[in-house]
Structure 1
Amino acid sequence: MRQVCTILTFDTPGRGFTDITRAIAGWAAESGIGEGLLTLLCRHTSASLLIQENAAREVRQDLAEWLDRLAPEDTRYAHDDEGPDDMPAHLRATLTGVNLSIPLIGGRMALGTWQGIYLAEHRRIPHRRQVAVHLIGQ
C-alpha cells in the first residue's frame, strides 16, 4: 500500500465553477498508483467541491441560480466582514461540501461518462484556492 499527497492551487475567475478534472487526473496518473482511493479537500470556507455534469453548460448555470435563491446576497446576515457576498458564500459551501472521495480503478478516476470535478467559487471576485489531494492504494 502506498500513499501520496499534495496541495494543488487553482485560480478562480470569481463566482462560478472551475473544471479541475484534468489537473486532478494528471496528478493521480503521475502517482503511479493503479487502484486506490482519491480524497480531495477544499481548504476554504467560501468555496467548495462538486462532481457534476461536464457536458451541458446549462447544468452549472442552473445550479448557480439555485444556490443564489437558497443563499441570496442581502442584509439579513450578521456576518459580512468581507462584504455582502461573504456569508452567502459560506452557506453555499455548506450546501455543496468541501470534500470528495473518488475510487481510482486502472489508474483512472472512476467518474461517470458525464461527470467532472469542479471547484465552486462562491465569492464574486477571483481567488487563489487550494485543494489538498491524497491518494492511497497500490
Structure 2
Amino acid sequence: MSHAFATSVLHVVTGTTETVTDLTADCERFLARHAGSGDGLLNVFVPHATAGIAVLETGAGSDDDLLAALHALLPADDRWQHRHGSPGHGRDHVLPALVPPHATLPVIGGRLELGTWQSVCLVDTNKDNPERQVRLSFLG
C-alpha cells in the first residue's frame, strides 16, 4: 500500500468584519491536484490563535447564525482579561475553544466526503487581523 502526503497553504483575506469564509472549493482544488483517485484524510488547520475551522451549511443563513451565536456566547465587551487590540478582542482568543483550529475530513476516490449541505469554513471573529493562512494537508 503506498502512502502519499501533500500540503499547501491558502492565503485568505477575511477583512475587518467577522466572517465565515467557505473553503470547500479550495479544498476540492487541492485534492484534485494531490489526491488523484485515492482515499485518505484531508486536514484543514488555521495557525492563528483567533480563528477556527467549522463544517456547516452556508448560504442559507447558518453562517450568519453561527456568528450571531458566537457573539451571544462571546460578547465583544470589556469582560475579557486579554485586552490588547480592539475592544472585546479577548473573546477572539476564546473562539478556538468553541470552533477548533482544525478539521480532519475523509477523502474517498479523491473527493471530499461531505454531507449534502456541509461546507468547510474558516471562522474569523478577529477584526484586527484581515489576512489568514490555512494549511491543507492530504494523507492518503
Structure-1-length-normalised TM-score: 0.91
2:41 counterpart (27, 37, 42): 37
Instruction: Encode CA deviations 1:34-69: one digit per residue, 9 max, x unaligned.
Output: 21111111110111110001341x211111111111
Structure 2 alignment gaps of length 5 or more: none
- The match for 1:11 is 13
Query: Which residues of 2 match residues 1-138 of structure 1 at below 5 A?
Result: 1-13=3-15, 14-33=17-36, 34-56=38-60, 58-125=61-128, 127-137=130-140
What SS does structure 1 have at the residue aligned with 2:31?
A: helix
Runs of 4+ residues deviating >3 angstroms: none
Structure 1 alignment gaps of length 5 or more: none
Any conservation in 2 of the 1:52–1:115 contact (CA below 8 Å)?
yes
**1:93: Cα distance to partner?**
2.4
Distance of 1:105 and 1:8 partners within structure 2: 22
Distance of 1:52 and 1:90 partners within structure 2: 21
Superposition RMSD on alpha carbons, in Å?
1.4
Distance of 2:71 and 2:35 partners within structure 1: 41
What SS does structure 1 have at the residue aligned with 2:30?
A: helix
Paired residues in the alignment total: 136
Any conservation in 2 of the 1:40–1:101 contact (CA below 8 Å)?
yes
**1:133: Cα distance to partner?**
1.4
Distance of 2:85 and 2:116 partners within structure 1: 39
What is the letter of the counterpart of residue 29 of structure 1?
A
Distance of 2:108 and 2:35 partners within structure 1: 12
Any conservation in 1 of the 2:47–2:101 contact (CA below 8 Å)?
yes
